[in-house]
Structure 1
């Protein structure tokens, strides 16, 4: 799948910074987080990419994301969308 070719590039980028564009969280990080968190759509195993896994844990543990989950989780129970994996669940295993 085409997305698979980008994983090594993303891994390399995240190996030297906490977020895609450096030290600060950006919209690009929010989008990447959603894509790797919804492995039904991402369609690849990221367990071989430690920096991507670290990135997922970092974003999932942000207080703003935790607040977002509190708000949207009740609505997600009524629609057919994949759920965000728990913070401690390895991506690709949700």
Structure 2
């Protein structure tokens, strides 16, 4: 969904092809392993036929297609390095901390407590990043890292983890959720109803 949000932010035309990663098939009936050999989403097929996988790579690729939108700092700058650092944290730490909840088995007792503690530890880091009053992870400008972090942090509600101990993080999630591009993506993906 992070890519969907960014495509909406950029106003790019695109086609979604939902994927059943367990079955390895796209909604159009294609063998997903031929598109993404690792078998997981996202996968972006460019107009030139290039296939790009991994959230940090695809998000930066999209941002670089329209640098005037300001969704990623320019390459070869300290700010771009901070973006890469943040995207890698979201990918390797925050995203992965939710993995136990999507393993297909029920988490109970000590196992659930351990998994929740992992999510909370990463949420505490986000809270610390926002502690200086910034609106977004890199400062006052929404970036591709915010789209990705929002999607992952939003999973807390789906798995029954409260973010109440992290009020800045809760406000941040609400701020990103209220963006028109986020709303449009959530409606399209069936995560919320279209407001009338």
Aligned counterparts, 1:26-37, within 5 A: 26-37=143-154
Q: TM-score, normalised by structure 1?
A: 0.65
Cα distance in 2, alignment partners of residues 19 and 10 from structure 1:
10
Q: TM-score, normalised by structure 2?
A: 0.34
Q: Per-residue CA shift, 1:16-69, capped at 9, x if unaligned?
A: 21111111111211111111111246x742111110011011011101111222
Larger Rg: 2
Point out the structure with the larger strand share: 2
Q: May I ask how many residue pairs the two structures share in their alignment?
A: 74
For 2:137, the equivalent position in structure 1 comes to 20
In structure 2, the residue corresponding to 1:38 is in which secondary structure?
helix
Higher relative contact order (CA 8 A, sep 6+): 1
- The runs of 5 or more residues in structure 1 that have no matched partner are 74-82, 85-94
Cα distance in 2, alignment partners of residues 6 and 72 from structure 1:
26
Cα distance in 1, alignment partners of residues 130 and 152 from structure 2:
15
Cα distance in 2, alignment partners of residues 24 and 3 from structure 1:
25
Query: RMSD of the TM alignment (CA)?
Result: 2.0
Give the counterpart of 1:8 among 112, 124, 130: 124
